[in-house]
Structure 1
Amino acid sequence: MALASRTRRMLEALVREGSLNWLLSRRSSFSEEFEELESSPSAGNNWIPELSPAANIVVRRCSRILETSSSELQESFNTEASDSIKHKSRYARNFLEYCCFRALALSTQGMGHLADKKFRRLTFDMMVAWEAPAAASQSLINLDDDLSIGIEAFSRIAPAVPIIANVIICENLFEVLTISTGGRLHFSIYEKYLNGLERVIKKMKSQSESSLLSAVRSTRGEKILEVDGTVTTQPVLEHVGISTWPGRLILTDHALYFEALRVVSYDKPKRYDLSDDLKQTVKPELTGPWGTRLFDKAVLYKSISLSEPAIIEFPELKGHTRRDYWLAVIREILYVHRFINKFHITGIEKDDALSKAILGILRVQAIQEISSSSTVCFESLLMFNLCDKLPGGDLILETLANMSSSRGLDWGNNILASGGMYSISALTTVLNLGVMFGSSSNNPTEAGLLVGELAVGEMSSLERAVKESRENYKKVVLAQETVNGVKADGIDTNLAVMKELLLPVMEVGKWLLSLVYWDDPLKSLLFSLISTFIIFRGWLGYTLALTLVLIAIFMVVTRFCNQGRPLVELKVMAPPSMNTMEQLLAVQNAISQAEQLVQDGNIVLLKFRALLLSIFPQASDRFAALLVFMALILALVPSKFMLLVVFWETFTRYSPLRKASTERWMRRLREWWFSIPAAPVVLETQKQKEKDAKKRK
């Protein structure tokens, strides 16, 4: 009892002192600072009436970082911003963005800004304030609640710090971070993500500053981005023919290196280049013992510099997450160099492009650290991978290249006067993190590369391209869902569906055959006369054009007539089900028919070979004379009359006047064809070929 009473008195004392206020209250940083602002005698001077309380607090923090007052920030914004940006309906949000971009540009200059808890809280509160920036929207958020942010605020503020997010992948990153919170990002998860970023940045810096591959990397100043195979429980295997070697795999910003493990040390590293244009191919691959293809856990690298592809396997008990991760990061480096080579990007712009790829890989590594889910799509978090996947991704890269080349020309002249109107660049962020490139030893500010992908109050051309591409991608996803829904299993079922779909074409074909065979002489005669007139007058092109117009009119009329009606489904009569034996017999029959078709095709080719080589001289002479006759016709007869003759020959072949002669000539043609011998063929094995080669030597 004495112990219990003593414990109770100690807890009561802690409560009186305020030491347990964090347990007894869920007050946000906004609430505390708002109370401090109310009690301050100079509160009126730092209060912007157009802004909400949350936005005022964020602007106040930004003014402290910039060592100025809120009113002076407002005066600077009014001076630098255009009239459209200062429009009353958008003034609060645009002014808030202006303050945020300026404060973030200054805050990120320190190397340890990600570890600063105040910086983390500031960036999150910027997003909170962005959702309700105007004074009229102050009731939309409760500053005492557990605050969270939506995708729009994250997509607008987070890319202003390129290490946190990127314009192209920010929506996918937000979905990954909010997968367990219903589409709203809470500060706890956001802080966990920044912690992961801080750790992977330290890891990359320590690896790049180490002696690992120092002799090889020094020529290009390559930075190590990832290392694998150093832990015995997670080996990396390289397959060469039927042999397999364990080793260490290293990815830099220019190449992939593999060091085979010997008894006590590593062998000389093999370099698989990713920067030069060597027609590289990087794709998933199946591996297995003795060259079999069983396990989907490997990456294949192929280029014109290698005599045979390199296959690197990432063994794991379940799934292929390691392989997917390595495939994504290898492709990211490959794709960024393809982007650089395609648009001939050099100098500091090249370093900026590499910075984007490096930051993307760091973000993926951070997500790997904080996420236990194995369903993360790594390609969707890497911008160059995503551009390769998205419809219109090439347009995004083209826009990015144009922005990169125009920064020094268009923006560089005005940036000193309007430094807060743009976010910082990826290269500036990487340099602030302490990573130097070979060509970026100069100050990027002097080269004009001062701004990133965001501008205050405006949607950049890159954002517009990304938005359009995402809208198109949604359409592709919906279309693909319909495709997956109509896929049927079984050859017989698919043949039944195809037969039903081709039924109109088959009916048209039957109608044309009936005209060709003169089943109804009157219709065939009328069709022949009309077609002859069209061909003779040269109206065939107009006829085809009219047909296309009629099809288009049919589509438009059908669209308007079917509005509001349920979609008409294609009804297919399902074929009778077959047991296993019947299915095997059907497959065997199909294979036999395919084999017969291949044999017939080979016989035709061999007979033509015999004609060309004059194995049967009499038939070859006739064939040569026929070729000369056809050549004279092609050279002398106008194409209109040639087409007319071909049409007459085809559509009058089985007319009552020509039917008997046609049958007689077709019989003679078959007899002539059957009389032509096939060219000889000798089948030899590889061993016989090698023996013959040795005998010749």
Structure 2
Amino acid sequence: MTAVNRTKNMMDYVRDGSFKWLNKNPNPYNEEFEEMKKSPSAEDKYWIHELSAVANAVVRRCSKVLDVSSDQLRDNFEKVATDATKNSSRYARNFLEYSCFRALAQSTQVSGYMEDKKFRRLTFDMMLAWDVPDAASQPSVDIDEDATVGATAFSRIAPAVPIIANVIISNYVFEFLTASTGGRLQFTIYEKYLTALERAIKKLKSHSESSLLSSERSARGERVLEVDGTVTTQPVLQHLGISTWPGRLTLTDHALYFEALRVVSYDTPTVYELADDLKQVVKAELTGPWGTRLFDKAILYKSSSLSEPVVMELPELKGHTRRDYWLAIVREILYAHGFIRKFKLTGAERDEALLKAIFGIIRIQALTNMSSTIPLSYEAGLMFNACDQLPGGDRILETIATMLTSKGPERNNSNKSATGMYSVSATAIASGLGFVFGTGSTNTLNRSLITVGEITVGEMTPLEKAVDESRSNYKMVADAQATVDGAKVEGLDTNLAVLKELLFPVIDLGNHLIAILYWDQPTKSIAFCLVFGFIIYCGWLPYVFALLLIFFAISTMLVRYVNEGRPVDGLKVIVPPPMNKMEQLLAVQNAISQAEEFVQEGNVVLLKIRGLLLSIFPQASNRFAAALVAFALFVTIVPFRYVVLIIFLEEFTKYSPMRRAQTERYMRRMKEWWFSIPAAPVILERSQEDKKKK
């Protein structure tokens, strides 16, 4: 079928009312299709033969945003696109992306674009068109008022507006939004998400424009990202040493502030820096009355500028969601500044990196206010947190830094960006959201700012490739972790039984070696000593070790070949009789007592060695020193392999029938000598913290 025939069929498809889904709800598509139907030369003037009906409508709307005709938009694409991008097999989708990126770059420069319902619908329709871009795909797709979008289309179009998503976390945002809709995104849910984003943006701007910490923030132009503790029913408690104060906790894009609550006002804020390199550590912490560790609802902050760590407790009745949220967003800012320092970003590059973190926090705030069948993972929705957890996350950050700092024409050439072959950056759209950079506002886009984003028309950017590789590795890690979680068993006695079964080959080998050492079977002991003595004498130990490794490798491959396609046999463990709570407590107490005895014996050995070195018992120290000198001379004079051979023969023949009596007498004298050595004295002092608590 020729392109003209396909076009005629599609026009008939439109005229026959097959797009009734357009009339059910108000949709900007209606206007475009009505104009197409009324035009006497619709096929020549409006319709692009290579595109599907839905893609034609989207391109038509993009041309209106850009105030150019569809033909002119197509001519511009033909001029700037490479031959590979204009390849016939991918032409429709690449031209659609080009049109979308140009229209979005223009739309996002208008103040308050997130509130515009036409903008919201346009971005969603771009995703619909991306799923069915070419003329051949349209008839096989049934599009109605409940049309939905797939993950790939969302991950391709949504990052073109960085506040909606970015390449790294777009998949997670999509999964969260579609958890209850079978992995397909509906417009109603998408619109709710954009509405929540709009509210989060207004909240952030209202915080930053308020008097919160105004004097402290003025020097650096900080933006207030989150505030908590203003409601008396949800206080924030600061634990510093043994003192506890309720107050207000504020996070900016540079620091964490705590203001203790007084009778009618707040005290002077205490600053906990996140931007400077102070070896900061931010982690979850347990709190409780009188120093106990009972409640998992707090954040610990420590740095080289503090004499002792500070703990921020965020109490709630059930769970620790509130704490997890704060922990994630504080770490996001900390990681962002670590990224800036590591790659020495300044100026526009620094602003871009910070905006990526800020936009991530805004997205998390929006998702928090949406219902879903799955719990919200704050770390997975924040870019720097995600890179900290993903395998290969460091390579993703290196790629981002390279993209930010590259001075080539593909990055900072504003004319290249203006062609629409690239999506816009976070910095480029910030003015439309009313954000403030540094100490001044950017109402118009500065040409020195970064204007190129993370997506390229018709290509995978290095960032997308790094993210895809990381996701593939993460899937393998997740599958492996699932087997680990399935292998975990409950109960101390059961775990010990599993451990014993796993170590059985090692225990069995050890028993055989002990039998050889004690000459229980003299024939095997003699053979073992002769064979290994000859190997040591000839200097073949490295080769023997290498052969053992090769043997294990060959065995592994043979087992894989033999068992290919067969299910893996599970480890069979005989479960011991169940223990009641009292028996389990006694078992734990017994294990702790044994561990304590083991540590005590180790301390005694170390203290006796200390006593020898300090000559607390001069006679024993003299013998010890003489033995060390003799051994040093022996090692110096005798070749090393002979030293190893002598030590080996000494150890493996001392319990032979001929030497057993002599060995027993020698070991007895050594024990008597060891027991006669006094231990160095120990003085116990109470720590300053314990004294304070007293």
Which AA in structure 1 matches 2:470?
A: S
Check 1:266–1:422 CA distance in 2 against 1; reply closer, same or farther (3 A cut): same
1:250 aligns with 250
CA contact (8 A) 2:537 2:641 kept: yes
- Structure 1 counterpart SS, 2:436: coil
2:534 aligns with 533
CA–CA separation in structure 2 for the residues paired with 1:520 and 1:22: 89
- Structure 1 counterpart SS, 2:420: helix
TM-score where L is the length of structure 2:
0.92
1:482 aligns with 483
- Structure 1 counterpart SS, 2:455: coil
1:492 aligns with 493
TM-score where L is the length of structure 1:
0.91
CA–CA separation in structure 2 for the residues paired with 1:251 and 1:38: 55
Which AA in structure 1 matches 2:404?
A: S
CA–CA separation in structure 2 for the residues paired with 1:215 and 1:56: 53
Tell me how far 1:26 sits from its aligned partner. 5.0
TM alignment of 1:184-203, pairs within 5 A: 184-203=184-203
Instruction: Map Cα deviations across residues 593-613 of structure 1 (whole Å, 9 max, x no partner).
Output: 223223322322232222222
Which AA in structure 2 matches 1:37?
A: M
CA contact (8 A) 1:534 1:540 kept: yes
CA contact (8 A) 1:229 1:235 kept: yes
Which AA in structure 1 matches 2:24?
A: S
Instruction: Map Cα deviations across residues 309-335 of structure 1 (whole Å, 9 max, x no partner).
Output: 121122222222221111111111001
- Structure 2 counterpart SS, 1:606: helix
RMSD: 2.4
- Which range moved further: 604-613 or 151-160? 604-613
Check 1:26–1:681 CA distance in 2 against 1; reply closer, same or farther (3 A cut): closer
1:212 aligns with 212
1:226 aligns with 226
- Which range moved further: 488-497 or 26-35? 26-35
1:64 aligns with 64
CA contact (8 A) 1:336 1:354 kept: yes
Which AA in structure 2 matches 1:39?
A: K
Is 1:419 paired with 2:419?
yes
CA–CA separation in structure 2 for the residues paired with 1:289 and 1:569: 46
TM alignment of 1:609-620, pairs within 5 A: 609-620=610-621
1:94 aligns with 94
CA–CA separation in structure 2 for the residues paired with 1:96 and 1:41: 25
CA–CA separation in structure 2 for the residues paired with 1:421 and 1:202: 31
Instruction: Map Cα deviations across residues 349-406 of structure 1 (whole Å, 9 max, x no partner).
Output: 0110001011111111112233377821111111001111111111111111111111
CA–CA separation in structure 2 for the residues paired with 1:418 and 1:634: 76
Q: How many equivalent pairs are there?
A: 669
Tell me how far 1:498 sits from its aligned partner. 0.8
CA–CA separation in structure 2 for the residues paired with 1:324 and 1:209: 27
Tell me how far 1:685 sits from its aligned partner. 5.8
- Structure 1 counterpart SS, 2:489: coil
TM alignment of 1:447-486, pairs within 5 A: 447=448, 449-486=450-487
TM alignment of 1:538-687, pairs within 5 A: 538-681=539-682
Is 1:36 paired with 2:35?
yes
- Structure 1 counterpart SS, 2:571: coil
CA contact (8 A) 1:351 1:439 kept: no
1:4 aligns with none
Which AA in structure 2 matches 1:294?
A: L
CA contact (8 A) 1:28 1:144 kept: no
CA–CA separation in structure 2 for the residues paired with 1:407 and 1:40: 48
CA–CA separation in structure 1 for the residues paired with 2:544 and 2:438: 64
2:7 aligns with none
Tell me how far 1:591 sits from its aligned partner. 3.0
Check 1:685–1:343 CA distance in 2 against 1; reply closer, same or farther (3 A cut): closer
CA contact (8 A) 2:410 2:416 kept: no
Percent identity (aligned): 62
CA contact (8 A) 2:21 2:143 kept: no
Gaps of 5+ in 1: 1-20, 691-697
CA–CA separation in structure 2 for the residues paired with 1:231 and 1:372: 26
TM alignment of 1:314-393, pairs within 5 A: 314-371=314-371, 375-393=375-393
Tell me how far 1:153 sits from its aligned partner. 0.5
CA contact (8 A) 1:254 1:273 kept: yes
Is 1:25 paired with 2:15?
no
2:3 aligns with none
- Structure 2 counterpart SS, 1:447: coil
Which AA in structure 2 matches 1:511?
A: H
1:395 aligns with 395
- Which range moved further: 216-225 or 175-184? 175-184
Check 1:540–1:154 CA distance in 2 against 1; reply closer, same or farther (3 A cut): same
Instruction: Map Cα deviations across residues 130-162 of structure 1 (whole Å, 9 max, x no partner).
Output: 000000000243343311101111000000000
1:404 aligns with 404
CA contact (8 A) 1:351 1:440 kept: no
Tell me how far 1:419 sits from its aligned partner. 2.5
CA–CA separation in structure 2 for the residues paired with 1:403 and 1:439: 26
Instruction: Map Cα deviations across residues 513-532 of structure 1 (whole Å, 9 max, x no partner).
Output: 22222233333222222222
Check 1:311–1:140 CA distance in 2 against 1; reply closer, same or farther (3 A cut): farther
CA contact (8 A) 2:417 2:451 kept: no
Instruction: Map Cα deviations across residues 587-635 of structure 1 (whole Å, 9 max, x no partner).
Output: 3332332232233223222322222222222211111101111222333
CA–CA separation in structure 1 for the residues paired with 2:48 and 2:404: 36
